[in-house]
Structure 1
Amino acid sequence: MAFNCCCRLSDGRDLCAIRRNTFDFGRIMSDDAEKQVYGELVNPDEESRMSDAAAELKKYKHLIESADNDKSRLLLEKIEAETEKKRAEAELQSFMDSEDKVSDQFNRDLLEVQEERKSLDRVHQDLKKELYDLQKKLQLKRDESDSLRRRFKIEARIPVKAVKFARVQERDEAEDQVESVFTVTQTPSFLLKGGQALITFEEEKVAEQILRLAKCSVACDKAKMEVKPYALTLDPSVKFEVHIQVSKKSVRFCNAPPTLPEERMRDRLELSFSRASRGGGEVEKLEYHKDTGSGRVTFISTGVAESLVHRGKFCVDTGSDVVVDVLPLYEYQLRKFQTYSGAPRRTVLLGGIQALMDEEDLQDHLEIHFQKPSNYGGEVENIKYVPDGERLTAFFSEDSKEKEA
C-alpha cells in the first residue's frame, strides 16, 4: 500500500514517517505470526508491543482518513471559493461598467443643466434689462401724466343759489328739453417734490427781496443749511362752459339682447314701454339696434322719461321678462374754451432743503428765518415743506389782495 501525500499532525509529527513505521510493524506482525505458525514461542513483551503498534496503526489510519476527508473538503471549498470569486469579479466588473455608464450619463446631464442654467441666466439678464427699461418708460409716463393732470385738473364749484316760488308759468309742449350751462375753471397747481417748500408772504415786495438772493443760510439749532429761492411758474390752466340739453321725453336703453327677430323685438319693446302699469306711457317713436342691443324711445308726454331715468331699470316682455337699463338722453357742447397762466407774486419756491430734523420742526425753523426783516423776510401767510421721498400737489386760488387792489 503506497501514499503520495505527506502532512503533519497537530502534535507536530510527520505523517509519512508514521506510515513507514506502520509498515515495519506490519512486517514484525507478519514475522511473529509466521513464528507462531511454525510453533515458535512469542515473547510477552513483544506481543504487547505489537498490540500497541496495531492500536497506533489503527489510530493513524483513522487520522489519515480524516486528513483525506479534510483534503477533499478543502478542495471542494477551494473550488467553491474560486467559483464565488469569479462570480464576485464578474459582478464587480458589471458594477464598474454600470458605474461608468452612470458617470457618463451624469456628466452629460450636468452639462445639459449647466447649459440650461446659462441660458436661463441670459434670459434673466435680458428680462432684468427689459424690466429696467420698462420701469424707466413707466416713470417717464407717470411724470408726463402728472404734468398733464396738473395742467388739466378741473375743479367744478357750483355756487349755491337761493330760489323761491313766484308764479306758475305756462310752457309750450314743444319745449321738451332741459338746458343747463356750467362754467368750469381749472385750479392752478404745482407739484412739490421732496426737499422743497412753498412760502407765501403777506406782501409782494418781501417775495421780490427773497428772489434777489442767490441763497439763504437757514440756522437749524447747531447746524446750518443753504436754501436756494426760485420764482414759481405755474402750468397753463383752462376755463370753459359746458352746455347740456337733457330730453324730457326721450330716454336711452341698453342690454336688450335680440331674442326675437328685429321687427318683433321692436314691437315687443314698444308695447312694453307703452304700458302704464309698468311705469311707461304712450310711445311716439322707438329705435332699436339689434347689433348693440340698445336704442331710444320717445314718449308723447313729458314726465314718463324722468320717472324711468330715476328708476334706472325697466322690465320688457319679449316672451320672457328682460330687464333693460334706462339712461337719460342728453347732448352737450363745450364753449368759450380759454387757457391762461398765472404767476403767484407773493409765493417763493425753496429748494435744496436738507432733512436735518423732523418735518414740523424744520418747517418752523424755515418760517422763523423768513419772518425776520434782518433776513430780508416779512410776515408769512402760509408755508408748506415736503420731506425727502414724498410728493405733494399745491393748488392756488385767485389772489384776493389783487382783487381788492
Structure 2
Amino acid sequence: MADVNPEQGNEKTEEESQLQEAQQELETWKAKVKEADDVKTRLIFDKVDVDDVKTKAQKEMTDLLQKRDEAQREFAANMSRQEELVLTQQRRNQDLLEKRKTLQAKLEAAREESVRLRENFKVRVQVPDINVKFTRQAPEDHHQEGDFIRGVFVFRQMPSVLLRGGQALITFEEEQVASQILRLASCTVPCENMTVDVEPQKIRMNPWVQFEVHLNVSTKEVKVSNIPASCSEGRLEDRLEISLSRPSRGGGEVDSLVYDRETGTAHVTFLNPGVAEHLAIKGGYSVDLDTRVRVKIENIHRQELRQFQTFCASTKRTVLLDNIKNRVDEEELQDQLEIYFQKPGNCGGEIESLHYVPVGGAVRALFSNDTVKTEN
C-alpha cells in the first residue's frame, strides 16, 4: 500500500477548489455573454425598427415638403391669375369709363345740335284766334273752282354762315383752287415787316329750309265783326242779312249767315262771287240794327303749308380763313391776303371776292344757290 503525502492532498484540494471557482466564473461569464448577446440582438432589432420608422418619417416629410411646394406653386399661380384678372377688370373698367365719358360728350353735342337744328327749322307764323261754330255739314261740291282766288308762294331761305372776328371768306373762280387751299393746314402771309398765319377751313353752314304756302281767298265769304248784341239773335241775323243784301251799299244776295253772339262776329256767304271782294276792300259797312252801326268786313282766307324741306349745303368755291391775328391795318391785311392767294405758287388762283372781319366784329354771310352744293 502506497503512502499518501498530506501536503499533496492539500494541494489537490486547492486545485479542485480553484478549478471549481474557475468553472463557476466561466459559467457566470457565459451567462453574461449570453445576456450581452441578447441585449445586442435586441438592440439590433430595435435599431432596425428605429431605422424603419426614421425612413418612413423621412419619406413622409419629403412627401409633405413636395406637397407644400406644389401648394405654394399653385397658390402663386392662382395669385398671379387673380392679379391678372384684377388688372384686366381695372383696365376694362377704365376703358368703360372713358367710353362712357366719350359717349356722354357725344350725347351732349348731339343734344346741342338738336336744339340748334330745332331753332333753325322753326317757322314762326302768327295765326289769329278763330272761334268756329259748326251749324251744318257743307256738301262736297259746295265750293266751285271760281269761289277762291288761289295763290302759291314759295319761300326759300338763303344758306348762311356767321363770320366772327379774325375770320375771312375768300371765293375763288374755280372749285379746284378752293380744294387745293383746303388741303393746306396753314398759310403764312407776309404783311409789311411781319407775317400772319391763317388756317384754311371748310365752311360749316347752317341748314336751310324751303317751303310753299298755298293761300285761298274766298270770293263769296266774309267775316263781319264789331256787331253789338242790341237785340235777339234771330232778329239780329235778319237785320244783318237785309242790310248786307242791299246793292246800293255794295252788298248782294246772301246765301247763308251764321252769327256768333259770344264773339260778336258773323260768317256771311254771298250767292254770287265778287261781292265779298268789294266789301273786304272797303273794310267797313253800315248795317241797320236798332240804330245804324258801322261793322268791320274781312276776307275769309285759308292757308296751307306744303313741301317743307330742309337742306344741308357746302360751298363750292369759298374757303374760310380762320385764326387771323389783327396785327396790321384791316385794308392792308385784306390786300395782302388777296395778293397771297392769287399766286399759283401758293396753290392759289383768281379770286372772285374776299371779305375780312376784324377782331371784335361779326357779320352773317349769305350765299346764293349757284355758289353752294346741296348734300344729302
Alignment TM-score > 0.5, same fold: yes
Structure 2 Cα separation of the partners of residues 201 and 252 of structure 1: 56
2:233 to 258, 262, 265: 262
Q: Give matches, 1:205-220, under 5 Å.
A: 205-220=176-191
Offset of residue 216 of structure 1: 1.7
What does residue 334 of structure 1 align with? 305
2:250 to 255, 260, 279: 279
The change in CA–CA distance for 1:144 and 1:324 in structure 2 (over 3 A counts) is farther
Which of the pair has the greater relative contact order for Cα pairs under 8 Å at 6+ separation? 2
What does residue 315 of structure 2 align with? 344
Q: Give matches, 1:53-72, under 5 Å.
A: none
1:322 to 273, 293, 307: 293
Deviation track 1:21-64 (CA, whole Å, cap 9, x = no partner) reads: xxxxxxxxxxxxxxxxxxxxxxxxxxxxxxxxxxxxxxxxxxxx
Q: Give matches, 1:378-397, under 5 Å.
A: 378-397=349-368
Deviation track 1:101-140 (CA, whole Å, cap 9, x = no partner) reads: xxxxxxxxxxxxxxxxxxxxxxxxxxxxxxxxxxxxxxxx
Q: How many residues align?
A: 244
* 1:151–1:188 CA contact under 8 A, matched in 2: no
The one-letter code matched in structure 1 to 2:258 is E
Q: Give matches, 1:236-251, under 5 Å.
A: 236-251=207-222
Structure 2: segments with no counterpart, 5+ residues = 1-112, 125-142
Structure 2 Cα separation of the partners of residues 219 and 231 of structure 1: 23
The one-letter code matched in structure 1 to 2:158 is T
The change in CA–CA distance for 1:273 and 1:370 in structure 2 (over 3 A counts) is same
Structure 1: segments with no counterpart, 5+ residues = 1-142, 155-171
Q: Secondary structure at the match of 2:369?
A: coil
* 1:179–1:243 CA contact under 8 A, matched in 2: yes
The change in CA–CA distance for 1:321 and 1:345 in structure 2 (over 3 A counts) is same
The change in CA–CA distance for 1:253 and 1:193 in structure 2 (over 3 A counts) is farther
1:228 is the counterpart of 2:199: yes
The change in CA–CA distance for 1:400 and 1:208 in structure 2 (over 3 A counts) is closer
Deviation track 1:314-367 (CA, whole Å, cap 9, x = no partner) reads: 233333443333222122222232222111121111122233344433322222
Q: Give matches, 1:130-149, under 5 Å.
A: none
What does residue 264 of structure 2 align with? 293
* 2:160–2:364 CA contact under 8 A, matched in 1: yes
Q: Percent identity?
A: 47
2:165 to 194, 203, 214: 194
Structure 2 Cα separation of the partners of residues 266 and 335 of structure 1: 38
What does residue 19 of structure 1 align with? none
Deviation track 1:59-80 (CA, whole Å, cap 9, x = no partner) reads: xxxxxxxxxxxxxxxxxxxxxx
Deviation track 1:156-202 (CA, whole Å, cap 9, x = no partner) reads: xxxxxxxxxxxxxxxx9763122233333222111222222211111
Q: Secondary structure at the match of 2:354?
A: strand
The change in CA–CA distance for 1:294 and 1:353 in structure 2 (over 3 A counts) is farther
* 1:151–1:189 CA contact under 8 A, matched in 2: no
TM-score, length of structure 2 as denominator length? 0.57
TM-score, length of structure 1 as denominator length? 0.54
The change in CA–CA distance for 1:327 and 1:352 in structure 2 (over 3 A counts) is same
The change in CA–CA distance for 1:386 and 1:293 in structure 2 (over 3 A counts) is farther
Structure 1 Cα separation of the partners of residues 356 and 121 of structure 2: 22
The change in CA–CA distance for 1:295 and 1:198 in structure 2 (over 3 A counts) is farther
Structure 2 Cα separation of the partners of residues 315 and 360 of structure 1: 66
Q: Secondary structure at the match of 2:314?
A: coil
